[in-house]
């Protein structure tokens, strides 16, 4: 595991580069196939409305995967991730048009945890259409 | 309907091995828009100290959730899966999942609670490689919503 960011070079409050991830129906179909999660609320508008949703919604695990990229891209080695957890608070609604939805992810170093293990905790902010979609979104990363 | 409390602490037998393939990792990485070479190029992964291409951090969920499905489907537990949404998800990694791994999952029910008519189930999935070494642990919180407001909850939560 070889992170690109050195433990000495960060402090509590250090911001990670923010990213925006577009999501269209095409994205969801691909994710369904790759992940094996074929729940129709992620691709069938008729079914989604029948169960009370406003429209098709993104897989929670897709949103979790995108949010992780802000951490792993920053660290440089995805293998540097020690812990990663989220709470699914709101769905990402994905309309059937060319734009779809956008997941906005920003993050900052919340604390330096262990000088020997060189681990830091990163807190993520994950929103779509101006609303928080993941809560308690935290990662522990081992830096160089 | 309250879940059977006697299930807390219960572990299920390890699953049959899931063999992680390079092309499955590639497919998953592409599906989440990932272009990091460690997911597709063994040499790039090697430069980071990994013996083969590694999988994105959430890749393993497909394996642990399938294992959790056996718990959820246990009729004696009494969980109404049609009302289940994914509440929380957490992973703790000893090392990244990589191509060539043959992974087994041992699922344990950590907690069973009923709150305001909702049934809450916490499942821990311990993922080990062929040598029995720990790779990652996944914690999944499932919430089965009270029957009368299932639709409202489905709108406010992300289903899986």
State chain A's mean pLDDT as an integer. 96
Q: How far is CA B160 from each of CA A13, A93, B113, rounded to the nearest angstrom?
A: 33, 14, 20
What value of ipTM does the predicted structure carry?
Answer: 0.96
Q: For chain B, which residues lie within 8 Å of any Cβ of chain A, measuring from their own Cβ?
A: 27-28, 30-34, 36, 38-39, 47-50, 54, 56-58, 61-62, 65-66, 85-93, 95-96, 139, 150-152, 154-160
| Edge-to-edge strands, sheet with B84-93 | A15-23, A101-114, A119-128, A131-142, A81-88, B84-93, B134-144, B118-128, B102-115, B18-19
Say how far apart CA B83 and CA B90 lie, in whole Å.
21
Residue A59 to residue B160, Cβ atoms within 8 A: yes
Beta bridge partners of B120: B113, B143
Residue A69 to residue B34, Cβ atoms within 8 A: yes
Point out the residue among A62, A79, A89 whose CB comes nearest to the CB of B54: A79
pLDDT attached to residue B129: 98
Q: What are the pLDDT digits (tens) for B6-18?
A: 899 999 999 999 9
Say how far apart CA B93 and CA A82 lie, in whole Å.
5
Residue B158 clears pLDDT 50, i.e. is over it: no
What is the token pair recorded at A80? Answer: 């540097």
Neighbours of B32 (CB within 10 A): 23
Point out the residue among A27, A52, A86 whose CB comes nearest to the CB of B89: A86
Classify residue B72: in a domain, yes or no.
yes
Residue A88 to residue B158, Cβ atoms within 8 A: yes
Closest to A86 (Cα-Cα) out of B82, B86, B4, B38: B86
Classify residue B52: in a domain, yes or no.
no
Classify residue B101: in a domain, yes or no.
yes
Classify residue B112: in a domain, yes or no.
yes
3-class secondary-structure state, position B54: strand
pLDDT attached to residue B116: 86
Point out the residue among B36, B58, B155 whose CB comes nearest to the CB of A52: B155
HSE of A116, CA atoms in CB hemisphere, 13 A: 0
Say how far apart CA B138 and CA A52 lie, in whole Å.
29
pLDDT attached to residue B153: 47
Residue B1 clears pLDDT 80, i.e. is over it: no
Q: What are the pLDDT digits (tens) for A87-137?
A: 999 999 999 998 999 999 999 999 999 999 999 999 999 999 999 999 999
Average pLDDT value for residue range B24-53: 97
Classify residue B121: in a domain, yes or no.
yes
Residue B150 sits in which domain range? 6-21+59-156
What confidence category does residue B149 fall into, taking pLDDT thresholds of 50, 70 and 90? low
pLDDT attached to residue B160: 41
Average pLDDT value for residue range B131-149: 89
Structural domains in chain A, sorted by start = 7-22+60-142 (3.10.129.10)
pLDDT attached to residue B152: 46
Q: How many domains does chain B have?
A: 1
pLDDT above 90 covers what percent of chain A? 95
pLDDT above 90 covers what percent of chain B? 72
Residue B96 to residue A58, Cβ atoms within 8 A: no
Average pLDDT value for residue range A39-62: 95
pLDDT attached to residue B148: 58
Give the position of tokens 């049609």. B82
Residue B111 clears pLDDT 80, i.e. is over it: yes
Classify residue B93: in a domain, yes or no.
yes
Q: What is the CATH number of the domain that holds B63?
A: 3.10.129.10
3-class secondary-structure state, position B122: strand
Classify residue B114: in a domain, yes or no.
yes
CA B98 to the chain's CA centroid: 16
Q: What are the pLDDT digits (tens) for B50-100?
A: 999 999 999 999 999 999 988 888 888 888 877 888 999 999 999 999 999
What confidence category does residue B39 fall into, taking pLDDT thresholds of 50, 70 and 90? very high
């Amino acid at each position: 595991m070889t992170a690109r960011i050195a433990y000495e070079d960060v402090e509590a409050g250090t911001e990670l580069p923010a990213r925006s991830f577009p999501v269209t129906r095409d994205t969801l179909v691909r994710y369904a196939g790759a992940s094996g999660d074929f729940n129709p609320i992620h691709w069938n508008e008729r079914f989604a409305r029948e169960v009370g949703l406003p429209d098709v919604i993104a897989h929670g695990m897709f949103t979790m995967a995108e949010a992780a990229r802000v951490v792993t891209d920053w660290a440089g080695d995805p293998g540097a991730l020690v812990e990663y957890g989220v709470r699914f608070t709101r769905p990402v609604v994905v309309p059937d048009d060319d734009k779809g939805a956008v997941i906005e992810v920003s993050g900052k170093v919340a604390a330096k945890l262990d000088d020997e293990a060189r681990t830091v905790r990163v807190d993520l902010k994950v929103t779509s259409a101006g609303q928080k979609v993941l809560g308690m979104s935290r990662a522990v990363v081992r830096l160089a | 309907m309250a879940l059977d409390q006697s299930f807390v602490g219960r572990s299920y037998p390890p699953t049959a091995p899931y063999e992680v393939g390079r092309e499955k990792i590639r497919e998953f990485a592409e599906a989440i828009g990932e272009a990091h070479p460690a997911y597709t190029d063994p040499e790039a992964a090697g430069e980071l100290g990994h013996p083969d291409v590694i999988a994105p951090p959430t890749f393993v969920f497909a394996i642990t959730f399938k294992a959790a499905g056996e718990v959820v489907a246990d009729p004696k537990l009494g969980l109404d899966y049609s009302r289940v949404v994914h509440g929380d998800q957490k992973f703790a990694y000893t090392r990244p999942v990589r191509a060539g791994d043959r992974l087994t999952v041992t699922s344990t029910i950590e907690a069973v609670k009923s709150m305001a008519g909702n049934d809450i189930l916490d499942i821990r999935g311990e993922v080990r490689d062929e040598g029995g070494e720990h790779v990652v642990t996944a914690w999944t919180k499932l919430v089965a919503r009270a029957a009368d407001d299932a639709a409202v909850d489905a709108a406010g939560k992300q289903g899986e």
